[in-house]
Chains A and B, each alone.
Chain A
Amino acid sequence: MGKYALRRALLFIPTLLLVTILVFSLFWIVPGDPALAILAGGEGDTGAVSAEQLQQLRQRLGLDRPLYVQYASWLGNALRGDLGTSLWYKTPVWSQLRDRFLVTMELATMAIVLAVCAAVPLGVTSAVKQDTGFDYVSRIFSSIGIALPTFWLGILIVYALASFFDWLPPLGYATVWDDPLLNLQQLILPALTLAFNDLAFTARVTRSSMLEVMREDYLRTARAKGLGELIVVARHALKNALLPVLTVSGYQFARLLGGVIIVESIFVVPGMGTLLIDSIIHRDFIVLQAIVLLVAVVVLVINLLVDLSYGVLDPRVRYQ
């Protein structure tokens, strides 16, 4: 298994390289560039930018160099652990990314925990009471989140809180160390929104996995031995059925890192999502590359961990 993990870890390198090349080249086909964003990017406010001024700034920012030179210089710095300086903020990327990364990780963790906490009971009861009214209600409920666009759900929540309760989470972000209560107030709504979106999928996996496990022989044996249904479910079925849930949650966590983009901007969470949107608007490819790289590493590591844990928990899985 150690060998397997090492082999997978080595495969990260070409994958990450591919990711950066992908993002870099995609970004350069996108119309507009950092110079344009800096001189004419103000929303709704138009200066009289001339072509010469743009050319001058491009030169100063080094954007007039051939693409492969720019990529090589970026890569060289990145390999030395220097993620570069933001073209927009003109500050080192890492200093900004560090705090935001933690915020986003906290948000995503909260969301996934909330989702699993709600999805497992829903899925299990849905499976135990298959094709009953409860099953239907629980499945429709868990599908609401997936059938509503996240932004719409988020905006409705903000609107409802402001209109009916005259209350909103305080502005200005506090870390969990500084002020846990304030932190909770600020993150709970976006986390709920994300969790609700995730609920359907995790509940569905729990349900089908439970259904499958419950058909297995050893459960029939357990029942035959006269054990109560509750004990059968809790003791035997749940333990085995949760394996796929774990897997799926791992993958969902990775997916969430993309999903936070919208939710963060609606709920004013200073995480990577808002930074990412900004870096796209500002054509700040240095920041974008750093975010993408960081997310990619996290996703790859999580995927690997999930795969490995699967092997630990289910001896039937063999690694080649």
Chain B
Amino acid sequence: MLAAPWNAVADFSRRKPLGALGGFIVLALVVTALLAPVLSRYGPRQIIREADNRVPVHAPPGLSYPMGTDHVGRDIVSRIVYGARISLYVGLGAVVIGVTGWFIVGMASAYAGRGVDLVVQRLVDAMQAVPGLIIVLAIMAVLGSSLNNVVIAIVIGMLAPVVRTVRSQVLSVKEMEYVVAARALGAPASRIIARHILPNCLAIYLILATYYLGFAIILEASLSFLGVGVPPDVPSWGGMLTAAAQGHITKAPWAGIFPGLAIFIVVLGFNLLGDALRDVLEPRLRGERPRQ
């Protein structure tokens, strides 16, 4: 019973070592997020007071603080470990709500026919025509800066690309010979969707989800840099990176390097995993087709 999935994993790792590396990174992220209180010595917002009540501001990496401390004397390791939760929350939130939601919209648009399609496509066009960052900036300004609002802003920013990709994918599946054949044989739409379209689209869903997990983490960091990210004391990697970038980069490089590295490794992990999934699940997947 256990052997089969294990073999599949082993097989996947042999065929796609980079993908396996990505998977491992993602797994490590999840474990870190779950075990954050165990893995960290200090609270994520805790300003450390040493024995003589001194606050170690910008302490370099060393024995007491493996990655040093930040601009108000917080332990960077602890913040990065707790930050895994934030990253996962933002990433999963954006993907679960965004990719799923827009996925359904994209499928509906492709399948419901002309009227709905036309309206949805105009909305997609409009959203796509405005640089995503502007929309996200405005939304954050309206909603205020909190973790959940970052997720909402990212989700809205994902509308255009996800709906478009899904729609064109569904359209191309719709035209595949066996689907056309099934339709010619008089199979009802619901059955065609369930039997042919959905399984085909599941692959693209998985791939999109993996990429967008990474994308959400990067976007969260950009929002922090533009001053509309999560509250500054929330240990998000993007926020840490921004704080370091805005004036501490020369005096305390470690305050920027470690969160930067965390983002880099995790996003790389998601991307490698996504690439491998893409190779395995959807070998025919190509660049986007033009809309028809």
Contacts and interface: CB of A to CB of B under 8 A. Distances in A.
Do A and B touch directly, given a CB cutoff of 8 Å in the complex? yes
Interface of A: 11, 14-16, 18-19, 22-23, 26-27, 29-31, 131, 136, 139-140, 143-144, 146-152, 155, 159, 163, 200, 204-205, 208-209, 211-212, 243-245, 247-248, 251, 254-255, 257-259, 261-262, 276-277, 280, 288, 292, 295-297, 299-300, 303, 306-307, 310-311, 317-320
B275 A151 contact: no
A307 B287 CA distance: 13
A208 B122 CA distance: 30
Contact of B129 (A140, A208, A300): A300
Nearest to B263: A149
B130 A292 contact: yes
B141 A258 contact: no
A280 B140 CA distance: 12
A151 B125 contact: no
B250 A159 contact: yes
A200 B241 CA distance: 22
A144 B129 CA distance: 27
A26 B139 CA distance: 7
18 contacts: A11-B125, A15-B126, A22-B126, A22-B130, A31-B141, A31-B142, A131-B15, A146-B218, A149-B218, A149-B221, A149-B241, A152-B221, A159-B249, A204-B275, A209-B287, A245-B287, A280-B137, A319-B292
B165 to A, nearest CB: 11
Contacts of A262: 133, 222, 225-226
Pick the 6 closest A-B CB pairs, nearest first: A258-B131, A244-B287, A296-B129, A147-B267, A307-B290, A18-B126
Interface string B277-292: 0110001111111111
Contacts of A261: 131, 133-134, 226
B123 interface: yes
A27 B141 CA distance: 9
A150 B142 contact: no
Interface of B: 15-18, 122-123, 125-126, 128-135, 137-139, 141-142, 214, 218, 221-222, 225-226, 238, 241-242, 245, 249-250, 256, 260, 263-265, 267-268, 271-272, 275, 278-279, 283-292
A244 B286 contact: yes
Contact of A15 (B122, B142, B245, B292): B122
A292 B75 CA distance: 42
Given A23-B130, A26-B138, A149-B241, 18 more contacts: A14-B122, A15-B122, A15-B129, A18-B123, A18-B126, A19-B129, A26-B139, A136-B17, A136-B18, A144-B268, A146-B271, A149-B260, A251-B288, A255-B131, A258-B133, A295-B131, A296-B129, A307-B291
A156 B15 CA distance: 36
Contact of A212 (B15, B275, B284): B284
B126 A19 contact: yes
B130 A296 contact: yes
A320 B175 CA distance: 14
- Residue among B138, B263, B291 with most chain A CB within 10 A: B138
B142 to A, nearest CB: 5
Given A244-B287, A300-B129, A320-B292, A26 B142 contact: yes
A261 B286 CA distance: 30
Contacts of A248: 287-288
B122 A152 contact: no
Nearest to B157: A258
B136 to A, nearest CB: 9
A320 B171 CA distance: 13
Contacts of B260: 148-149, 152
